[in-house]
Amino acid sequence: MNSDQVRAIAHELGFGAVGIGPSVPKRPEAHQAWIEAGCHGEMSWMETHRDVASDPDLVLPGAIRAICVLDRYPGVEPEEVPDRFGRIARYARGKDYHVHTLKRLREFGERLMSSYPGGAFRACVDTVPLLERDLASSAGLGRIGKHTLLIEPGKGSWAVLGVLLTTLPFEMDSPLIEDPCGTCTRCIEACPTDAITPWEVDARRCISYLTLEHRSAIPLPFHEGMGDWLAGCDICQEVCPHNQPTTARSKTPKAEALMPTKMGFDLLEVLGWSEEDRRDAFSGSALKRVKFDAIRRNALILLTNKACEGDSVARKILEEQLCTIESDEQAPDLLRQTAEMCRSRMV
């Protein structure tokens, strides 16, 4: 099978890198143990479909190869964060990669199918619970760092991944051998909620999970650590030596659709949103899965952080918000529980 044609089509479609590897992840048992330990938190679909992660045949019968691609997005750059502002993770500052990357990945499969009509293909971009980073590492795109993200040599970890499973025996790329981290533990030390241990993240403590996927009230011990992260978190990537700004990295091509259009939202505006406002604000964004009450929960916690840091304006507005929630019998339980915890921090 002509692997050169695979690479040529991938580059024509604008992917930043492409690699071909086995369809079965290297360490599925580690993922199973992670699930068994409950580290997936409230992401029940991971447990329900955990067999899919280790058996690609459940996604595409007869799959033997994983064609892995990545789209890069802008990483660390100087930021002036306005007062009472909530930041969002950098991957979500442009268009929704689930849509943008998946569309091109499907076209990738269609073009290969026209050349190899006997083969089958299945495009996956967070649409099924594959272990994309593990597969991408086996395909030679990079190595997984201690923060569990794929580090691309010379370019860092600012990228989203996609996988095209196929039944065709394309020649595989060689995986990289060099350990990208060595003795470095910056990501572990910088995580404000102690979510990271080497090559594993406990989602139940991760700011990204808590602000995006967690549907219940966020436990009080994690409130302060959220800082000004309204949706997602980039701290472990910001401190990674592989991600520090260099001329070479600044010139590395980025996916046009993932170029940032916003860095976050004013917390006071978020607290005043209607459901329609939330839909409009997140339209075309990877954040659209964040529910209305959850984003207001996050904003309430961040405003409390500002107040506890000495922001008198934030304290005044927060007091008004808490009183409104506490006096509203129709207020959602999620907001009432959050307000109670925020109130405890104001004493």
Is 57 annotated in the active site?
Answer: no
- Measured CA distances, 67 to 59, 165, 208 (Å): 14, 6, 27
pLDDT for 77: 76
Question: Has residue 80 been placed in a domain?
Answer: no
Question: Has residue 175 been placed in a domain?
Answer: no
Angle, vertex CA 114, rays to CA 109 and CA 117, nearest 5: 95
pLDDT for 247: 65
CA 17 to CA 196: how far, in whole Å?
A: 27
Longest dimension (CA), the chain: 68
Enter the pTM of the model.
Answer: 0.94
**Boundaries of domain holding 116:** 3-75+95-166
Which positions ≥6 away from 88 have C-beta within 8 Å? Answer: 229, 230, 231, 232, 262, 263, 264, 265, 287
Query: In this structure, what token pair is assigned to residue 262?
Result: 């916003």
Do 120 and 11 reside in the same domain of the chain? yes
Quote the DSSP letter at residue 156.
B
Do 139 and 201 reside in the same domain of the chain? no
Do 160 and 229 reside in the same domain of the chain? no
Do 65 and 150 reside in the same domain of the chain? yes
Last residue of a domain, one of 166, 199, 222: 166
pLDDT for 128: 84
Query: In this structure, what token pair is assigned to residue 283?
Result: 């339209």
The DSSP H or E segment spanning 163 is strand 159-166
Query: In this structure, what token pair is assigned to residue 237?
Result: 């990537």
Do 151 and 220 reside in the same domain of the chain? no
Question: Has residue 87 been placed in a domain?
Answer: no
Instruction: Yes or no: say if 212 and 298 are a contact pair by the CB < 8 Å rule.
Output: no
- Among the residues of the chain, which ranges form H helices? 3-12, 28-36, 44-48, 50-54, 97-115, 132-138, 186-190, 207-212, 235-238, 247-250, 267-271, 275-282, 292-308, 312-327, 333-346
Instruction: Yes or no: say if 39 and 200 are a contact pair by the CB < 8 Å rule.
Output: yes
pLDDT for 286: 96
- Domain total for the chain? 2
Do 33 and 124 reside in the same domain of the chain? yes
Question: How far from the centroid of its chain's Cα atoms is residue 170's Cα?
Answer: 29
CA atoms in the 13 A half-sphere facing the CB of 182? 4
* Residue of 57, 126, 266, 311 marked active site: 126
| Residue 237: closest CA among 121, 159, 293, 153 | 159
Q: Which residues pair with 70 in a beta bridge?
A: 17, 161
Per-residue pLDDT of the chain (347 residues; tens, 9 = 90+): 678 999 999 999 999 999 999 999 988 899 999 999 999 999 999 999 889 988 999 999 999 999 999 999 999 876 788 999 999 999 999 999 999 999 999 999 999 999 999 999 999 998 788 999 999 999 999 999 999 999 999 999 999 999 999 999 999 999 999 899 999 999 999 999 999 999 999 999 999 999 999 999 999 999 999 999 999 999 999 999 999 988 667 778 899 999 999 999 999 999 999 999 999 999 999 999 999 999 999 999 999 999 999 999 999 999 999 999 999 999 999 999 999 999 999 87
Quote the DSSP letter at residue 127.
S
Instruction: Yes or no: say if 261 and 345 are a contact pair by the CB < 8 Å rule.
Output: no
CA 240 to CA 237: how far, in whole Å?
A: 5
Question: Has residue 178 been placed in a domain?
Answer: no
Give the other-Cβ count within 10 Å of 277's Cβ. Answer: 13
